[in-house]
Structure 1
């Protein structure tokens, strides 16, 4: 009898071991497979069981959460959704997250281990942290000024504080309301399909995710390269540049939109935006020098994040001398995001130093205690301080005496550069209107804002597309908002 009991006990022990092994296999080995199974709704139910943390501009949250009373209980809400969509992105129960909602999802959703009161606390207790808040660097007045100034036009604005790299405004139009995508009902599906089918691409963040030929605004980079290389030493000495200028090795004759460019000085050429002078300067500097300067400004950097990714601005380094001439006036394969061109203006304003742009000032726990702060951003030298000083002088001349008069701000020194970028086969596309600038109030010790504006012209106003007429007034509105705020 005892022998049978031992056998039965051994068999039960074996069954118990098998049960434990199988449970471990399911809970440990196969857990990721079950978690990722589309039929498993428990992660989604847990994710939306509590309110999401907020994204904050100034002292005001621009996001919220609404209790739906359904299985996926809390749904994202947005205040002034179209205004802040290029910053927040969307958090959708059906379509996931984008932009800050994506980059800071761990903190906003409460999943970030940094939110726990003690290391491994949640693993031991099985609790879930409340979502934290993300405080942005955005200046609400500047953001609204840019959005309203762009109006119904298609385009983008990026504004930076030159001394720190803080992003003050990031606007893209046309925009959309991210709240319309928050749920998982048929209305969200219809909105998703409509937005994705819209030829104007309202969900495209043109400020950071689209690159444009920068046109004449790139002449700031070319002028920096020429001054640093010693190709130009005196702003008021004539540069031996013909008008028209025949691109090296070709019969293509480059012309200008304005008169007085033949043998113009750098100051005159900058104020009149002479294509011939800057194309020749780029050729004289050479591919190596131009590429090095463009790289220092941030071109060809695929790793920029703010914290979400930024499209790579490009300067082609495998060009012949004719192509280099065109590249040096912001054409050929040269392309830039508005944020990149704001960095160019900020580099000049900050004495030749550029700081990496950033969008998150600090992150907080639900109770308001600090999780992390941005701190001081690293800087790198783009050009010599003496070169930056002379470029500030040239950019100031554009606003005071040249094509950038529409950007002038009373009580402030403003430097700028206009641009009208051609594109398409045979330049058949409607041009883009550009303006880059910086501003320093008379009572300030340093420039407070650098701005880049691009406006996509329409066929109806093709002849009137210009950086001075379309983009400069928008930049002025943003600069005034920052300086008077």
Structure 2
């Protein structure tokens, strides 16, 4: 009898061991696969079971959380949604996250191990930390000025602080309210369908995810290449440039909107934006030096993140001389985001140096303790310091005497460059109006802000589109907001 009891006890012990082994297999080794299984609702319930951390502009949150009393309890709210949509993105219970909501999701949702003093203990107990906060570099006054300046027209504004790379404004228009995508009911699905079907693409972040032909604003890069290479040594010397200019190897003639461009010195050609002078200049510089300088400014960089990814701005290195001529005036395959062109302007303002742009100043725990900071940013030399000094002088003259007078600010030093970029089949599209600039207040030791504005207004009369008329006033408003902040 004792033998049967012993056998039964051993069998029960084996069953218990098997049960413990299976529980260990499921809870330890297969836990991740169960967590990631779409049928497992516990992860989603836990994720939305507490308020999400906030994204801050200045000292004020531009996001929030609303208690719905549902199974997915907390929904994201955006008190000023359209204004900050290019910065925050959306956090949707159906469609996921974008932009800062995506790049900082672990911290905002409370799953980042950095939020806990004892992350291993939290892993064992499945305890979730309160969501952390993300403090941005955005200047609220500059953001409002950019948004009001575009006034619903298609376009974008990017502004950076030249000496640090801090992004001060990031606006895309037309915009949308991310809150309409926050929940999980039928209204969210209808909003998603409506936004995706909208031909104006309100969810497209034109400031960092859309590239445009930069037009004459790219002449800053072309002239930097020419000065660095020694192709231009005297900006007041006649250039022997014909008007019109026949593109090399073709019978195609390039003309100018401005008058007086024949043999114009670089100073005058830059001030009045003579295409013929700069197209010919780019050919003289050559594709190798042009490509090298463009790369130093940030073109053809596939790895830029702010922290979310930025579309690559491109300068085609496989071109013949005719194509190089067009590329050198910001046409052909040359494409740039507004953020990239703000970086070009910032390099001029910062003595030829570029600081990589960034959008997150620091992250904190829910109680305010700092988790991480932006830290020092590496410096890239885009051009010789002497070249930057000369370009700075020429950009000032564009604003004081040339095509950019609408950007002038009383009591401040302002430099700028206008651009009107052709696009479409045979340049049939309504041109894009560009303006890039920088500004230094009378009490400032260095420029405080660099701005790029692009306006793509399909409703405007083609002949009335200009960087100086359409984009420069917006840039001026943004610069004034920063200087008086």
TM range (shorter): over 0.9
Give the CA deviation at 1:6: 2.5
SS in 2 for 1:120: helix
Residue 88 of structure 2 corresponds to which residue in structure 1? 88
Q: Equivalents in 1 of 2:336, 2:7: separation in Å?
A: 78
The answer to whether residue 101 in structure 2 is matched with residue 108 in structure 1 is no
2:192 aligned partner:
192
**Per-residue Cα deviation, 1:39-97 (whole angstroms, up to 9, x for no partner):** 21100000011111110001111111111111111111112110000000011111111
Paired residue for 1:224?
A: 224
Following superposition, the deviation at residue 8 of structure 1 comes to: 1.3
Residue in structure 1 matched with residue 126 of structure 2 by the alignment:
126
Q: Does 1:268 align with 2:274?
A: no
Deviations 1:194-225 (A, max 9, x none): 00110000000000000000000000000000
Map 1:357-368 to 2 at 5 A: 357-368=357-368
Comparing 248-257 and 6-15, the one that deviates more: 6-15
Matches within 5 A, 1:284-363: 284-363=284-363
Cα distance in 2 for residues equivalent to 1:254 and 1:288: 23
Q: Does 1:3 align with 2:3?
A: yes
Cα distance in 1 for partners of 2:197, 2:298 equals: 33
Aligned-partner SS, 1:416: strand
Please state if 1:383 is matched with 2:383. Answer: yes
SS at match of 1:463: helix
Residue matched to 2:239: 239
Pairwise CA distance, 1:147? 0.2
> How far has the Cα of 1:32 moved from its partner?
2.9
Consecutive unaligned residues of structure 1, counting only runs of 5 or more, are none
Is residue 11 of structure 2 the alignment partner of residue 14 of structure 1?
A: no
Q: How far apart are 1:119 and its partner, in Å?
A: 4.3
Bigger shift: 9-18 or 236-245?
A: 9-18
Q: Distance in 2 between matches of 1:339 and 1:410?
A: 26
Q: Distance in 2 between matches of 1:459 and 1:129?
A: 50
Alignment of 1:410-429 (within 5 A): 410-429=410-429
Listed one character per residue, the Cα deviations across residues 248-276 of structure 1 (whole Å, up to 9, x for unaligned) are: 11111111111111111110100110111
Match of 1:209 in 2: 209
C-alpha distance in 1, partners of 2:415/2:312?
26
Shift of residue 19 of structure 1?
1.4
CA deviation after TM superposition for structure 1 residue 458, in Å: 1.2
SS of the residue aligned with 1:345? helix
Q: Aligned-pair distance for 1:123? A: 2.2
Structure 2: distance between partners of 1:428 and 1:382:
34
The CA deviation at 1:152 is: 2.1
Provide the rounded CA distance (Å) in 1 between the counterparts of 2:123 and 2:139.
39
Shift of 1:124: 4.1
Question: How far did 1:187 drift?
Answer: 1.1
Paired residue for 2:442? 442
Instruction: Supply the distance in 2 between the matched residues of 1:245 and 1:56 (Cα, whole angstroms).
Output: 52
1:420 shift after superposition: 0.5
TM-score, L = length of structure 1 = 0.98
In the alignment, is residue 374 of structure 1 matched against residue 404 of structure 2? no
Q: Deviations over 1:341-360 (max 9, x none)?
A: 00000000000000000000
Secondary structure of the structure 2 residue equivalent to 1:438: strand
Aligned to 2:26: 26
Structure 2 distance, partners of 1:26, 1:135, is 39
SS of the equivalent of 2:204 reads coil
Structure 2 distance, partners of 1:437, 1:352, is 15
- Within 1, Cα distance between the matches of 2:18 and 2:118? 35
Report the Cα distance in structure 1 between the residues aligned to 2:280 and 2:120, rounded to whole angstroms.
63
Instruction: Quote how far apart the aligned CAs of 1:26 are.
Output: 2.2
Is 13-22 or 23-32 further displaced after alignment?
23-32
TM-fit CA distance, 1:28: 3.2
**Structure 1 residue 132: Cα displacement:** 0.6
Q: 2:454 aligns to what?
A: 454
Corresponding residue for residue 51 of structure 2: 51
Q: What runs of 5+ residues in structure 2 fail to find an aligned partner?
A: none
| In structure 2, distance between residues paired with 1:255 and 1:123 | 67
1:170 aligns with 2:170: yes
TM-score by structure 2 length?
A: 0.98
Instruction: Give the secondary structure class of the aligned counterpart of 2:461.
Output: helix
Say how many residue pairs are matched: 485
**Partner Cα separation in structure 2 for residue 430 and residue 308 of structure 1:** 31
| Off by >3 Å, runs of 4+ in structure 1 | none
Q: Does 1:63 align with 2:51?
A: no
